[in-house]
Amino acid sequence: MNKARTDLAELTRGDSFEQLSTKTIGRLIYTTDALPAVQPVRYIVDDETIVFRTSEAKRIVGTGDGAVVAFEVDELDADTGIGWVVTVVGSASILDRAEAERYCPRALRPLSSDEVAGGHVVALIAGIVTGRCVTG
């Protein structure tokens, strides 16, 4: 079996955000009941803040703002493995109504009916940003 050689290159912070801005659905990684959880969310990028809507906001952020969460987006070819992956770790806060309305018309269509009924808009302020590009 002949395996193609692939190289892994690190993306700059700016390149990582540029890649993030090309997609609309990512994976939110957070802790609930002391266990890891992953939830797909529709998002937008505003400078170095990732904004998304979720019906799980209270569980994710808890009773106060600043919960540490991770966020991952990728585009990898299933056949070649070529593509990119970006992971962001930062603090998440539920936005108040005025802040949320600033984002909602732009792109935050709910992924589920739960998000329409009880969803909140959350801002993830980026801290650690890791981007990798896989090339052939």
Burial class (CB in 10 A: 0-12, 13-18, 19+), 25: exposed
State the pTM of this model: 0.84
The rounded distance, in Å, linking the Cα atoms of 68 and 90 is 6
Domain positions in the chain: 7-135
β-pairing verdict for 49-54 and 83-94: unpaired
Q: What are phi and psi of 113, to 5 degrees?
A: -65, -25
Record the tokens describing residue 104, joined without a space.
Answer: 């909602």
| pLDDT by 10s per residue, the chain, length 136 | 445 567 899 999 999 999 999 999 999 999 888 899 999 999 999 999 999 988 777 777 765 678 899 999 999 999 998 999 999 999 999 888 888 888 765 556 655 555 555 578 899 999 999 999 998 7
The rounded distance, in Å, linking the Cα atoms of 132 and 90 is 18
Enter the CATH code of domain 7-135: 2.30.110.10
